[in-house]
Amino acid sequence: TPSIFSLGGDLDLFSRLIRARDEEGLRDYAHACAKMTYLNSISADLPIVTIALVQGQALGGGLESALSCNLIIAEKSATFGLPEVLFNLFPG
């Protein structure tokens, strides 16, 4: 979508895995997402500070990614949300 950037989840893959009842695929996907966020939250075990710059919308995984940083800089017009709750999913 123009003007929207997100490191959020791959909803197409997520829905295909659910429809296929691919439990192993869902588990692998969940572990990959959690690992990325965890590595960011510990600054990849390096002596660095992680910074998220939010311009526009930070939704779902994009917000979770920003929250895993040490610092968030957001424009006044930035918006934040967790649309997973609309699907009865618990945000990461």
Higher pLDDT, 23 or 34: 23
| pTM recorded for the entire structure | 0.70
- Tens-place pLDDT, residues 27-71: 998 898 888 889 888 998 999 999 999 988 888 888 888 999 999
Q: Give domain status of residue 80, yes or no.
A: yes
Domain harbouring 22, CATH code: 3.90.226.10
Q: Give domain status of residue 47, yes or no.
A: yes
Distance CA 30, CA 15 (A): 13
Range of the domain at 42: 4-87
